[in-house]
A and B are shown apart, each in its own frame.
Chain A
Amino acid sequence: MDALREAEAKLTVYVHPSNAADVRRAVARQLSSLLFSYEDRFDGVLLAHEATVESEQGKILNGLVPYFGVPVHANLLLYSPKPDMMLEGKVEMLGKESIHAIVLGVFSAAIMLDDIHEKFKFKRKKYGGKFVSRSDKQHVIKKGSMIRFSVKRVDAEMNCHVTGSLIPPHTGSMLWLSVHDDEYALEINSGKRSRDNKIKTEQHEQDHSVKSSGRKHKSKSRKRSFEER
């Protein structure tokens, strides 16, 4: 999926002296504390990390508590949806005015009435309801169906809550698309999603420092390269 991204990062993780006995674990725990929350520096939500400690020597901070900085090289898996990306999700709840889907089993996305294509008509059923396309009765979106939609807006503050849209082409129920939408069908049949156009970007960032829950976490002149698929 477009919104998933791998990144490499050079980080300096500040470890409390009480954890000096097992630095690797302390680093992993520190990184794990960032899981599933939006992180500005990564420009996304951290889903997984794999870190190797680069040097045996850490720099000790001045201060009351001598935290020491451990240079770490980390591979990160990030979720960072951007407008106009295509996402896939499972419909969890729907009503006349909105469809709520879950992306990757964790992230929520909502599609409001204004963003649902006019061709869909809501049919009320006893339990919930469903959207049925006026042009093709086969095209149905109901609770549990997988849908493909484009990202309209991302709320970074709230763990990348996505407001989506079903208006652009190649959106709708994935089951229906796989048969009736040529481009999508081609894409899934070729078994890859335009993996050729890898773009490598390098990005240099300024020093950041963040204190989180009494511990320090800092990334210095981080060099990041990531692939955009």
Chain B
Amino acid sequence: MGAELRRDDMEVAEEDISDSQAFRFVEHVLQSVRMDPFQVDLRDKEEYDSLLSIVDSSKKRSYDDEALLVTTLKALSEAVSKIDIMYHHALLNNIFTMSIWYLNSDTRDALLSLITRLAAVADQFLRECLQMLVNNFTPPGSLTAFIGQPRWLARKKEIYSQLHESLRMISDTVPLAPRMLKDIIDRSMPKLFDNKAKMVSFVECMLGLDNDRMGDLIGALLLAKVVDLLTELDVNITWEDILQDEHNKGIFDMELEDLGEDEDSLGQEGTKALFGGNACAEKLDGLMVVFCEHLKSCKEHGRLPQEFDILKTIFRASVLRVHKSKFAQFIMFYACSLDPEICGLEFALFLSDIFIKKEEDSISRMSAVSYVGSYLSRARFISADTVVGILKRLVDWCVDYCDLQNNIGITTKPINHQIFYASCQAVMYILCFRLRSIMDYPNLKAQLFNMPFGYILTHPLEPLKVCLPSIVDEFLRQAKAARLFNASVHSEFEDALESDLSKTFGGMNRLDMFFPFDPYLLKESDRYMRPNFEYWSMVKTTYNNYNSDVDDELVDLDAPEMNVGSLDDHVEIDLNSDDDLEYSMNKMSITPNRSFFHQIMANSDTGLTMPARIRPSVSPPS
């Protein structure tokens, strides 16, 4: 072994001791106490104790001590067959409670190779070894404060790669070890109330494992665990947290000044203000960054398609039906944006498949159609022909549904036709965002204009009366400008904010309010989503071409609203003021024209005119 020892300082024996002598000595000590404690010779016991004190997890070490530790660890790994779970319990305990974070690189190597050997020797140590490695996924408590410093970042990387290497070696010698590792990771997963640094480093290390060959074995499980954690954090952020702060801001009109002053402090201030120090949101933010980085590295290594397949399954199982989730679903959004041609398209098809399949339960189907609507509207990377293709599927389904209803006779209770209304709403929502851009392509335009919108919208089921008024209104406005269909359809909501029907529908069924990909509010991870996200302020509408006066008017009306929640849009993008205010209002709202109404109603007592997506979240279904 090539270790350079400080021989003169060796405590184990006198000067000029060679590696092999030290090894033999340790072996001898181990052997000599391998018997009933009463029979152990006192001198041997003493030597064993001194061995214990060298391998002490809590001790602070000088360089000499550290060198001594390296030799001892190497000697131990040469003598693993002598280590006995009965008689060397104290020694093993010391080894397994060591934290590798404080050790030098050499020492870490020695310790980890000892661990891998122990794991391979006899299975009785396997669990402890794996547990010890997993424990070291997170730095010890006293270190977490410094872990963000650059000095530690490099070290952290190194430690992670060493841990991964050790785990890989263990799985080489004990092929079934990953099964056990799975359980151990499962049990050691950070809990909701662990601090952010711990969570982030654990997940980072865990996802690092997925890159490895280990990923083939337990990658799917690791991802599922992380997604579960994300969702759990997500549902623990309540909209009250966010809204309260936004309202306060609005009331005090403070952020304009704040913006000026804090411009260079990036989003941190904003996040704090936004969430009022909501711990869950911050943790989620950190984890989203880690996850997005992971996806990015997958993309770089060409493993994104496989990863995406796994993610899809996980999404289906644990995110799709969670209506309170606000941000966790953006991992799908980001994954899609990394590979629009394959993943992006696949996701759209996957969602519409779920929607169309009769075997799926209605909650999943409605969720899926809401996802389709929100996704196609917001994902800038999705091409217009994909949008038209999916729209066609949705419209075809609606037509079939209408036909079927004609045949069997209509019951007009909205609650019986939830899925139909949800899909109508999704279609309209997509068109609000996309109609103008589709019009640019003559062939797509022709396809779109061939779809029987008039038939569906004027059908006795009266989707226009039931869907969200703001969407209906915006849709009709755009459709009229574009002359999308001939039938004389007019909004029912000109004088009322919500029809009774719509209310019952909305009240009974939260899904009509579910817009999964609304603007992303987490500060740190926002940079991953923003470039691919379509904000309403940037959408070109059909009526814009023909009737710019109206638009100006609108902006004027919006103007007083601008302060509501315009917190974090100021830094990265230099929006002109009009965009800014429209964008800011958009952050809260899914509905394009909401503030138009909102403005009118703001002075009256309509608390009901809250942005649509907020309500369902605040009062989750029981």
Chain A contact residues, CB within 8 Å of chain B: 36-37, 92-93, 95-98, 100, 102, 105-108, 110, 112-114, 155, 157-159, 161, 163
Residue of B78, B124, B173 near A100 (CB, 8 A) is: B173
Q: Which residue of A lies closest to B2 (CB)?
A: A126
Q: Quick check: B175 and A107 within 8 Å, CB to CB?
A: yes
Q: Quick check: A108 and B179 within 8 Å, CB to CB?
A: no
> In the bound complex, how far is the Cα of B79 from the Cα of A102, in angstroms?
21
Q: How far is the CB of A213 from chain B (nearest CB, A)?
A: 12
Q: Quick check: B80 and A161 within 8 Å, CB to CB?
A: no
> In the bound complex, how far is the Cα of B79 from the Cα of A98, in angstroms?
9
> In the bound complex, how far is the Cα of B117 from the Cα of A78, in angstroms?
28
> In the bound complex, how far is the Cα of B128 from the Cα of A223, in angstroms?
39
Q: Which residues of B contact A114 (CB under 8 A)?
A: 81
Q: Quick check: A98 and B176 within 8 Å, CB to CB?
A: no
Q: Quick check: A159 and B78 within 8 Å, CB to CB?
A: no
Q: Which residues of B contact A97 (CB under 8 A)?
A: 78-82
Q: Quick check: B81 and A108 within 8 Å, CB to CB?
A: no
Q: How far is the CB of A103 from chain B (nearest CB, A)?
A: 9
Q: Which residues of A contact B169 (CB under 8 A)?
A: 93
Residue of A92, A95, A157 near B117 (CB, 8 A) is: A95
Q: Quick check: B123 and A102 within 8 Å, CB to CB?
A: no
> In the bound complex, how far is the Cα of B78 from the Cα of A98, in angstroms?
9
Q: Quick check: A108 and B122 within 8 Å, CB to CB?
A: no
Q: Which residues of B contact A105 (CB under 8 A)?
A: 175
Contact A155 B78, CB 8 Å, known A36-B176, A108-B176: no
Give the interface SS of chain B, mostly helix, strand, loop or mixed. Answer: helix
Q: Tell yes or no: B341 within 8 A of A by CB.
A: no
> In the bound complex, how far is the Cα of B172 from the Cα of A176, in angstroms?
25
Q: Which residues of A contact B81 (CB under 8 A)?
A: 97-98, 112-114
> In the bound complex, how far is the Cα of B77 from the Cα of A93, in angstroms?
13
| Contacting residues of chain B (365-413) with chain A, CB-CB under 8 angstroms | none
Given contacts A100-B121, A110-B121, 10 further A-B contacts (CB under 8 A): A36-B176, A92-B172, A95-B77, A97-B78, A97-B79, A97-B80, A98-B120, A108-B173, A155-B124, A161-B123
> In the bound complex, how far is the Cα of B126 from the Cα of A159, in angstroms?
12
Contact A161 B122, CB 8 Å, known A98-B80, A114-B81: yes
Chain B contact residues, CB within 8 Å of chain A: 77-82, 117, 120-124, 126, 169, 172-176, 179
Q: Which residues of B contact A159 (CB under 8 A)?
A: 123, 176, 179
Name 29 A/B residue pairs within 8 A (Cβ), A-sorted.
A36-B179, A37-B179, A92-B172, A92-B173, A93-B120, A93-B169, A93-B172, A93-B173, A97-B78, A97-B79, A97-B80, A97-B81, A98-B80, A98-B81, A98-B117, A98-B121, A100-B121, A100-B173, A106-B176, A108-B123, A108-B173, A108-B175, A108-B176, A112-B81, A112-B121, A155-B122, A155-B123, A159-B179, A161-B123
Contact A108 B120, CB 8 Å, known A36-B176, A158-B126, A159-B176: yes
Q: Which residues of A contact B175 (CB under 8 A)?
A: 102, 105-108
> In the bound complex, how far is the Cα of B83 from the Cα of A113, in angstroms?
12
Q: Which residues of A contact B174 (CB under 8 A)?
A: 108, 161
Inter-chain CB contacts under 8 Å: number: 60
Q: Which residue of A lies closest to B179 (CB)?
A: A36
Q: Which residue of B lies closest to A108 (CB)?
A: B174
> In the bound complex, how far is the Cα of B124 from the Cα of A155, in angstroms?
9
Q: Quick check: B173 and A107 within 8 Å, CB to CB?
A: no
Q: Which residues of B contact A158 (CB under 8 A)?
A: 123-124, 126
> In the bound complex, how far is the Cα of B173 from the Cα of A102, in angstroms?
7
> In the bound complex, how far is the Cα of B174 from the Cα of A110, in angstroms?
10
> In the bound complex, how far is the Cα of B121 from the Cα of A108, in angstroms?
10
Q: How far is the CB of A32 from chain B (nearest CB, A)?
A: 14
Q: How far is the CB of B363 from chain A (nearest CB, A)?
A: 16
Q: How far is the CB of B126 from chain A (nearest CB, A)?
A: 7
> In the bound complex, how far is the Cα of B372 from the Cα of A211, in angstroms?
41
> In the bound complex, how far is the Cα of B171 from the Cα of A102, in angstroms?
11
Q: How far is the CB of B608 from chain A (nearest CB, A)?
A: 40
> In the bound complex, how far is the Cα of B122 from the Cα of A107, in angstroms?
13
> In the bound complex, how far is the Cα of B176 from the Cα of A37, in angstroms?
9
Q: Which residue of B lies closest to A163 (CB)?
A: B122
Q: Which residues of A contact B117 (CB under 8 A)?
A: 95, 98
> In the bound complex, how far is the Cα of B79 from the Cα of A107, in angstroms?
23
> In the bound complex, how far is the Cα of B467 from the Cα of A119, in angstroms?
85
Q: How far is the CB of B493 from chain A (nearest CB, A)?
A: 43
Q: How far is the CB of A131 from chain B (nearest CB, A)?
A: 14
Q: Which residue of A lies closest to B169 (CB)?
A: A93
Q: How far is the CB of B124 from chain A (nearest CB, A)?
A: 8
Q: Which residues of B contact A106 (CB under 8 A)?
A: 175-176
> In the bound complex, how far is the Cα of B126 from the Cα of A107, in angstroms?
14
Q: Which residues of A contact B179 (CB under 8 A)?
A: 36-37, 159
> In the bound complex, how far is the Cα of B121 from the Cα of A92, in angstroms?
12
> In the bound complex, how far is the Cα of B33 from the Cα of A14, in angstroms?
51
Q: How far is the CB of A61 from chain B (nearest CB, A)?
A: 26
Q: Which residues of A contact B122 (CB under 8 A)?
A: 110, 155, 161, 163
> In the bound complex, how far is the Cα of B124 from the Cα of A204, in angstroms?
32
> In the bound complex, how far is the Cα of B124 from the Cα of A163, in angstroms?
12
> In the bound complex, how far is the Cα of B122 from the Cα of A163, in angstroms?
8
Q: Which residues of B contact A36 (CB under 8 A)?
A: 176, 179
Q: How far is the CB of B174 from chain A (nearest CB, A)?
A: 4
